[in-house]
Amino acid sequence: MNTVTLTIKTQPELYLELEKVNPDTFAGKKADEIAKLPVFQGKEILTLGDFFTVTGEAGATAADTKIVINGDCTKMKYIGAKMTAGEVVVNSACDMYTGSWMKGGKLTVNGDVHSFCGLAMAGGEFTINGNAGNYLGAAYRGDWRGMSGGVLRVKGNAGSDVATFMTGGTLIVEGNVDIHLGTHMEGGTIILKGNANRRVGGQMVKGEIYVYGTINVMMPGYKPVGDIELDVDGTKSKFVDYIGDLGERHPKRKGETVYGHLYMKK
């Protein structure tokens, strides 16, 4: 795998949109070609080379390309967005839309991410070694298609409205979350190692939510149906199994009603 290293030399005055910073766009290009790729700062179109020193060269395909970004990326948006293969490592915190619409490959952020990251993620592996903001793994505003595949892991805490309209994939938060976790969920798996504020699984139709900590206020539409031992994220634990959200319409499979499951660790 060939490596391209981007090192920040000039901080943008406004937030910088880096939709071209992914292995799919870099594939087959040398450093000078990558430096000429367009970036947006407000309404102004500039080049990647105006803000970064570019070294190395990409592989022939996205799968053969690794991108390493060094320097302060807190004003950088869309890093790794829409990537389908390869690897991206960001050695900093970064801004909105990081890893959004991702379909494959591996994205690692060694810091925090802002809100709206991992939107509509469909595949790949996205790891955040810090905290995440609001609407992580959710649907884009006005849309109803949230995360549908892949694995998204946050080593710290996450904000509100995480995994809204989730339909597939696995989202793991090792810390705590704020309100509205898994709202409108229609599939997929959420694993919360810490605590949730309230309104977990509101209007959930299908899918699974595992909570290892506490929920400040449990939604009234959930009914306990028994205890169960499950292997979750490599560890066996005992849970109380709640079905719901009972206030929602639920499909039937082979004559039986399909519910979402909210598992609370005992």
pLDDT tens per residue, range 58-111: 999 999 999 999 999 999 999 999 999 999 999 999 999 999 999 999 999 999
Domain boundaries, the chain: 112-265
pLDDT band at 157 (very low <50, low <70, confident <90, very high): very high
Q: Which pLDDT does position 38 carry in this prediction? A: 98
What is the 3-state secondary structure of the chain? CEEEEEEECCCCCCCEECCCCCHHHHCCCCHHHHHCCEEEECCEEEEHHHCEEEEECCCCCHHHEEEEEECCECCEECCCCCCCCCEEEEECCECCCCCCCCCCCEEEECCCECCCCCCCCCCCEEEECCCCCCCCCCCCCCCCCCCEEEEEEECCCCCCCCCCCCCEEEEEECCCECCCCCCCCEEEEEEECCCEEECCCCCCCEEEEEECCCEEECCCCCEEEEEEEEEECCEEEEEEEEEECCCCCCCEECCEECCEEEEEEC
Q: Which pLDDT does position 259 carry in this prediction? A: 94
Q: Which pLDDT does position 251 carry in this prediction? A: 86
For residues 2-22, give the mean pLDDT.
97
Decide which of 83 and 250 is more confident: 83
Q: Which pLDDT does position 70 carry in this prediction? A: 98
